[in-house]
Structure 1
Amino acid sequence: MADLQDDLHPAAEVGRVDEPFPQEGMVVGPEEYRPVSDPDDDPLDRARAVLAAHPVADGYSGLPWALRGLPWYDLDLGESAVDADVPRLRRGQVGAVFWALHLPEGHDGDRALTTTLEQLDLAQAVVAGHDEGLRPARTAGELVDARNCGRVAVLFGPAGAAALGDSLSVLRALHALGLRVLTLTGTSWAGPAGLTRFGEEVVREMNRIGMVADLSHASTPTIRRALTVSKAPVLFSRSAARDLRPHPANLPDDLLTAVGEAKGLCLVPLTAEQAGPTVRDVADHLDHVRTLAGPDCVGLSGTYDTGSAHPQELRDPSCYPRLIAELLRRGWGEADVGLLTWGNVQRVLRAAAFTAHTAQQRRPPSTATVTALDG
C-alpha cells in the first residue's frame, strides 16, 4: 500500500552515519582549535573574547508572539517593550536565534494552522524590515553567512505539531515556507502514550525533508520512541535537569543520558522557573547536562519574550557574557564553550541536512494518513 511506505523503505536505511557523505552534502571539517583569550584575563573579558569567535546560537525566542500586540516597534534602534532587540542581541554576542511560532493552549485544527502561518508571515516581515541587523537562515551555512555579514541569523521554529492537522502535506508546505523545527506534542499521534504509527511516519518524513524534531514538553514515551525512530539528531528547545529542579519540561538523568547516546541536543532555558533564580543555578544545569549527555549535546535557550521570569543576572540577551564568564570560572575550556554556544547547533543542522539528502535518494514523499496507519 502506498500509505505504508515505511514497509517498502525501511527507516533503518535512512541517513546511515556509516555511509560516506554524498558530494552535494560534503561538510568541511572544523579548523584546529586555537585559544582566543588569555587565561590571565578577567573572566568577563575572556567570555567576550570567546563569544567573538563562537557567538551564541539561542535556541528559543518568543519574539513573534510578543510583537503581535505592539502597534509600532523598531528592533534596530531598540525596543523597550520586548527583551530581545538588535542592540541587546549584539551586546550579548548572539549570532543566531530560533524564533518560536507559539500556539496558545486550545488552538488546534485549522485555527492552529492559521495562527502558525500568521506568526510565520509576521516573523518573515519583521526580519525583512530589519535587514541591517537580522537575516533569515534555513541552514548551518546560512547561519555562518549571516554572521560573516554582521547580521543575526533568524531561524523559524519551533512550531507546534497541532498546526499540521494530521497532514504530511502541510508539514512539507510549512518546511517550504521556512519552518525548520517542530515540537512533537499535543496531538493524537504524539501524546502521553507516545508516538503512534502515524507519529513515527511524521518523524521519518521530517528526517526526509530536513525538519528538526523538538521534544521539549513531550511525554517520556514520545521522547524514547522519537530517539529510536529519528535518524537525525533531535533537540529539546527548553529543557534543563529535573534532578536539580523539578519541572515537567526538564529531563531526568536517564533521559539526559539517552539524549547523549543519540547525539541529540538539550538546550537549557535561562528561566528562573526551570533553571533557578541566579546565573550560578543556570551554570549548575549546564554542568549537569554536560556531564550526563556530553559536551556535544548541550546548548543555550534564552527563552526571552515568552513572559517567563529570568535569573537576575540574565534579564535579557545582552547578559550572555555573564553566563559564559561563570562557566570559565568553573573550568570550562574554550573549546567546550564554543560547542555550547555555536558548534552544537551547527552540528544538528548539518546532520539534519545530510540525513535529508540521503533519505531523499531512497524514499519518495510520504502519502501516509493518520486514518490508514492508526485506524
Structure 2
Amino acid sequence: MADLQDEFDTTAEAGELDRLPADAPGAEAAEPEPGARLGEVPDKARALLAAHPVADGYSGLPWALRGLPYCDLESGDSCLETDVPRLRAGGVGAQFWSLHVPEEIAGDRAVSATLEQLDLVRHVVTRYGDALRLARDASEAADARNHGRVATVVGPASARAIGDSLGALRSLHALGLSVLTLADTSWAGGAGLSAFGEEVVREMNRLGVLADLSGAPEETARRVLSVSRAPVLFTRSGARALREHPANLSDDLLAAVGAAKGLCLVPLSAEQTGTSVRDVVSHLEHVRRVAGPECVGIAGTYDTTAAHPAELDDASCYPRLVAELLGQGWSDAEIGALTWGNVQRALRGADFTARAARERREASTATITRLDG
C-alpha cells in the first residue's frame, strides 16, 4: 500500500512541467482526447450531460489500482478505463467506487482488504483533489459537481467486510462507506436473510448505508426490499428477460424493485447486456418499462474484468450512449433522470431514512450469536 501511494505522489519527470499547454501558441498538436474516436456525437448529447452528468453506479478502480506499480490519473497515460480526462470527456459527475474482495478472500483478510482499498480511495481522492471529491450523500454529490469535481461515493463493499459485526459496519461507515452488498455471508446468502441480517439492514438504514443486492439470491433480495426503509440498489443488474445471467433480474423482481422505489443500475457489460450500444439501450428500456422510469440507472463496470459493448470501451464513452438514447426517442427529462436524477433520489432517500431512524433508535448492540444462535 505504501509503495503504491508513493507512486501516486511521484514528482513529474524531468522537463514535464516545461511543456506548453495544448492550446498555447507554438504547442505541438495534441493527441485526440478520450471520446474523440466515437465519431460524430450530437451536440445535444454533450449538452445534456453537462446539465445532467452520469452518476456511474459501479467502478472497479480501487482494486485495479492495487495491481499497478504506477498510475497517473491526470495524464490518461495508463492501462485503465477510468482517469480524469476520460471522466471529463464522458460527462461523469459521480462514481460509485467498489471495494471489491474476491470470493476466495474471507474472514479477517476480507476485512483488511476492504480497509486497504478504502484507505487507497481516500488517498487517491486527496491526491487528485482538483478533479475528485468524496461524497456521502446527495447534497455532497451535488456540491462536488457544482465545484467541477467528480463525486466519489465509496462502495459497494462486500458484506464479508463487516465480519458479522455491526460495530465494524459503523466503523466502515465512519470512514466513508456508503454502499454494502448483501450477499455471500451466512446471514445474507442462499438461505435468505436471517434475523441478524435483518438487523444489519435496519442498522444500515440508521446509518444511511445503501443496500446493494446485485448477485444476491432472489429470496434474500425480496426480503431486503421488504425490510429496508431506504431505497435498495442493484448496482450491476440487467434484465433476465433479454439476457440470461445470474446477476440479471427477472421481470417479477424488477416489478418488486419498482414497487419499493429501488434502483436497478444496468451494467455496460457485454456478458450481461450485450455487445452493442443498442443492446444496452434495450435493457434500459426494459427496466424502465417494468420497474418504472425513476428506478433505472447506469453502471459503467469499468476497470473490472467485464468486457464492454462496442463503442462503450471506457468512461469517456457516455456521450455515445446518450446519443443512442436520443435516437431512440428518449426525452431530455428521461435521460436526465437516468443519468443523474435517479441516483440522487436514492441517495436522498437513504439520508432522509437515516435522519428519521436516528430519532427512533440507538445504535444496535445485536450480535450474530444472539440473533442467529
Q: Which SS does the other structure have where 1:300 is aligned?
A: strand
Q: Extract unaligned runs of 5+ from structure 1.
A: 1-41
Q: Deviations over 1:17-61 (max 9, x none)?
A: xxxxxxxxxxxxxxxxxxxxxxxxx97221111111000000000
Q: Which SS does the other structure have where 1:341 is aligned?
A: helix
- The one of 206, 226, 235 aligned to 2:233: 235
Counterpart of 2:171 in structure 1 is 173
Cα displacement (A) at 1:294 = 0.6
**What CA distance in whole angstroms lies between the structure 1 residues aligned with 2:41 and 2:152?**
29
Counterpart of 2:142 in structure 1 is 144
| Contact 1:110–1:165 under 8 Å retained in 2 | yes
Q: Deviations over 1:281-324 (max 9, x none)?
A: 00000000000001100000000000210011100111101111
Cα displacement (A) at 1:148 = 1.1
Cα displacement (A) at 1:79 = 3.2
Go from structure 1 to structure 2 and tell me whether the alpha carbon gap of 1:132 and 1:43 turns closer, same or farther (over 3 Å shift). closer
Paired residues for 1:16-55 under 5 Å = 44-55=42-53
Q: Which SS does the other structure have where 2:271 is aligned?
A: coil
**What CA distance in whole angstroms lies between the structure 2 residues aligned with 1:210 and 1:152?**
21
**What CA distance in whole angstroms lies between the structure 2 residues aligned with 1:318 and 1:163?**
31
Amino acid at match of 1:182: L
Cα displacement (A) at 1:72 = 1.3
Is 2:368 the partner of 1:370? Answer: yes
**4+ residue segments displaced more than 2 Å:** none
| Contact 2:125–2:133 under 8 Å retained in 1 | yes
**What CA distance in whole angstroms lies between the structure 2 residues aligned with 1:294 and 1:324?**
19
**What CA distance in whole angstroms lies between the structure 1 residues aligned with 2:81 and 2:123?**
19
**What CA distance in whole angstroms lies between the structure 2 residues aligned with 1:323 and 1:298?**
15
Cα displacement (A) at 1:69 = 1.4
Counterpart of 1:219 in structure 2 is 217
- The one of 179, 191, 205 aligned to 1:193: 191
Q: Extract unaligned runs of 5+ from structure 2.
A: 1-39
**What CA distance in whole angstroms lies between the structure 2 residues aligned with 1:83 and 1:268?**
18
Q: Which SS does the other structure have where 2:317 is aligned?
A: helix
- The one of 268, 272, 275 aligned to 1:274: 272
- The one of 66, 70, 76 aligned to 1:78: 76
Q: Which SS does the other structure have where 1:317 is aligned?
A: coil
Counterpart of 1:33 in structure 2 is none
- The one of 334, 339, 342 aligned to 1:341: 339
Cα displacement (A) at 1:193 = 1.7
Q: How many residues align?
A: 334
| Contact 1:76–1:132 under 8 Å retained in 2 | no
Is 2:157 the partner of 1:162? Answer: no
Q: Which SS does the other structure have where 2:305 is aligned?
A: coil
Counterpart of 1:183 in structure 2 is 181
**What CA distance in whole angstroms lies between the structure 1 residues aligned with 2:163 and 2:66?**
23
Amino acid at match of 1:190: A
Counterpart of 1:128 in structure 2 is 126
Amino acid at match of 1:342: W
**What CA distance in whole angstroms lies between the structure 1 residues aligned with 2:265 and 2:101?**
20
Amino acid at match of 1:373: L
Amino acid at match of 1:124: R
Identity of aligned residues (%): 67
- The one of 281, 284, 298 aligned to 1:283: 281
Counterpart of 2:115 in structure 1 is 117
Amino acid at match of 2:79: A
| Contact 1:182–1:211 under 8 Å retained in 2 | yes
TM (norm. structure 1) is: 0.88
The CA RMSD measured in Å over matched residues stands at 0.9
**What CA distance in whole angstroms lies between the structure 2 residues aligned with 1:282 and 1:174?**
34
**What CA distance in whole angstroms lies between the structure 1 residues aligned with 2:77 and 2:353?**
39
Q: Deviations over 1:215-274 (max 9, x none)?
A: 000001100000000000000000000010000000010000100000000000001000
**What CA distance in whole angstroms lies between the structure 2 residues aligned with 1:109 and 1:305?**
25
| Contact 1:43–1:328 under 8 Å retained in 2 | no
**What CA distance in whole angstroms lies between the structure 2 residues aligned with 1:229 and 1:359?**
13
Amino acid at match of 1:347: R
